[in-house]
Each structure stands twice: as structure tokens, then as C-alpha cells.
Amino acid sequence: MATVMIDLKRLGDVKAPAGFAERVLAQAGMADSYAVFETVLGPVYVAWNRLGVSAAMRSKSAAEFEEWFRKDVGRELLRVEAPAAVAAKIEDQLRGKRRLQFDLRGLTPFSQAVLQKTLEIPRGQVRPYGWIAREIGHPAAVRAVGTALANNPIPYFIPCHRVVRSDGVIGNYGGGGPEAKRNILTLEGVQLKRLETLARSGLRYEGVKSTKIFCFPTCYHGRHAREENFVFFHDEAEARAAGYRPCKDCRPAVA
């Protein structure tokens, strides 16, 4: 019987291939893969694991993205070539077709609820922070909703850019500031000038005379109505007093 002798000293000098440790961690669910994807928004760094997309950012460099991820998410990263299947899902998501899954494990249940509700806002529409607070059962937590959205680790794909201030003003945006928010909303078809004109006038809802339904100004319900068929309201009480009921799709108020 042959005896195999192993030189432990020499074995200790053998170096593992580059990225080996990260790949092992990724297989164990302790590290995420990432790549940079060319999108309609420009280059976006995206991290994902077997549970779904875990982070997204428009960074100056891979090093900046890695540093932010390790600090805020707390896992290692392994850079890979951008898989075609993931790229296709990302493009679909940005066009309004929901195909991505998300890994929100590191967030509080409240923040997860905020982001899951934000996912329900259709492309080309906006909702106020108060709408999300009411929809998730915490109507008084408007400020906390804003904080959760400001710390959204997956902007663009979880569309916090579709959430505006309760007075109708566009507001800030953690994915690149107000100008980036305006650019993305315009790309999605939001009529910002109309929205801002209504906000300056203190008008929060639009009603359609033919249906006696009132909505948020970007709701699809009034998309095909002529301008002369619209009536605008400052608040819910004014709309109800005029005989209008809330839209069942955008839910501007409790039915």
C-alpha cells in the first residue's frame, strides 16, 4: 500500500486563486455578486444573491460601490460579468414590468413594508408620503416613511422616485437628488409642469366630471379625459362635498 507524504509547510505556501474566498462566501449566502449594467439611466452598479437584488447605485467606481455595500449592507462582494438574464430583468423592471426579486433582509419590518408598498406605484404615476403611511397602517408615520425611502438600498428598481411630498412638490431623492428625480419621472412619462402647477395652486386631487371620481393627478383613470372634463380639489372634503368618490385604483382616500 503506497504512502502519500504531504509537505504541510509547502502546502501552507500555496495561495488560493483570486476571488476564491468571496466565491465560497457567496455559495454560503454570506456574499453577493455584483456587476455594472448599462441602463436608460446610465451605468448602474447592481448587487444580488440567491434571494434577489440587494443593492443598486450609480457610483463613480467599483471601489466606491464596494465600500458603500460593505459598510451599509455588511456583506462581501464578488464582481462578475453582467449576466444577460439579469440585464434583461433590469431593463424590464425599469420599463414598468416587475420581474426582479429583492433581498431586504437587513431592513426593519417597517422599512420593508414601506419599500414593498412603493413597488406598487405604477410607472408614470406618483404618490405622496402620506399615502404610503396610510396604506401600510401607520398614517401618522409620514416622517418615518420619508426616512425609510431616503435609505432605500435599491433605488431605481424599488421606485422611491415616485413618492412626492404631501403638498405635491417633487421633493428630494436619495438616488441622486431632486434633478435626478425629475429626470427619471420625465423619462417615465410624468407631466411634471402640470404636477408642479397644481402643487403651487394648492390643488391635490383631480376629478373627472363624467365619472364623478377623484384621483391623484397622475392616475391612469383620467389619462384619456379631455382637459375641460377635469375639476380640481384642494382636499378630500372638498371633493366629497362636490359629490365625487375616491378612485379605487390610486386610492387618494379611504373609500
- What confidence tens digit (pLDDT) does each residue in 156-199 have? 999 999 999 988 899 888 788 889 999 999 999 999 999 999 99
Report the chain's mean pLDDT, rounded to a whole number: 88
pLDDT at 24: 45
- What confidence tens digit (pLDDT) does each residue in 53-99 have? 999 999 999 999 999 999 988 999 999 999 999 999 999 999 889 89
pLDDT at 3: 54
pLDDT at 159: 95
- In the predicted structure, residue 6 carries a pLDDT above the cut 60: no
pLDDT at 175: 80
Answer whether residue 5 is part of any domain: no
Answer whether residue 162 is part of any domain: yes
CATH number, domain with residue 132: 1.10.10.10
Instruction: Indicate whether this model's pTM tops 0.75.
Output: yes
For residues 22-44, average pLDDT:
75
Answer whether residue 184 is part of any domain: yes
Dihedrals phi, psi of 55, to nearest 5 degrees = -165, 155
Q: Are residues 166 and 209 in the same domain?
A: no
Cα–Cα distance measured from residue 18 to residue 99, given in angstroms and rounded to the nearest whole number: 32
pLDDT at 25: 44
CATH number, domain with residue 221: 3.40.10.10
CA distances from 6 to 2, 10, 14, 48 (A): 13, 9, 13, 40
Answer whether residue 43 is part of any domain: yes
Domain end, chosen from 51, 69, 94, is at 94
CA 98 to mean position of chain CA atoms? 11
- What confidence tens digit (pLDDT) does each residue in 190-234 have? 999 999 999 999 999 999 999 999 999 999 887 777 888 999 999
Q: Are residues 183 and 209 in the same domain?
A: no
Answer whether residue 178 is part of any domain: yes
Q: Which residues are catalytic?
A: 160
Dihedrals phi, psi of 169, to nearest 5 degrees = -70, 145
Percent of the chain whose pLDDT exceeds 90: 73
For residues 5-28, average pLDDT:
49
Cα–Cα distance measured from residue 51 to residue 118, given in angstroms and rounded to the nearest whole number: 19
- What confidence tens digit (pLDDT) does each residue in 124-145 have? 999 999 999 999 999 999 999 9
CA angle, 47 then 50 then 55, to 5°? 20
- What confidence tens digit (pLDDT) does each residue in 243-254 have? 999 999 999 998
Cα–Cα distance measured from residue 235 to residue 252, given in angstroms and rounded to the nearest whole number: 10
Q: Are residues 115 and 160 in the same domain?
A: yes
CA distances from 4 to 1, 7, 13, 193, 204 (A): 10, 10, 19, 79, 81
Instruction: Find the domain containing 77 and state its range.
Output: 25-94
Number of domains the chain is built from: 3
pLDDT at 177: 86
pLDDT at 30: 63
User: Exposed, middle or buried, 53 (CB in 10 Å: 0-12/13-18/19+)?
Assistant: buried
Looking at residue 226, the DSSP 8-state letter turns out to be -
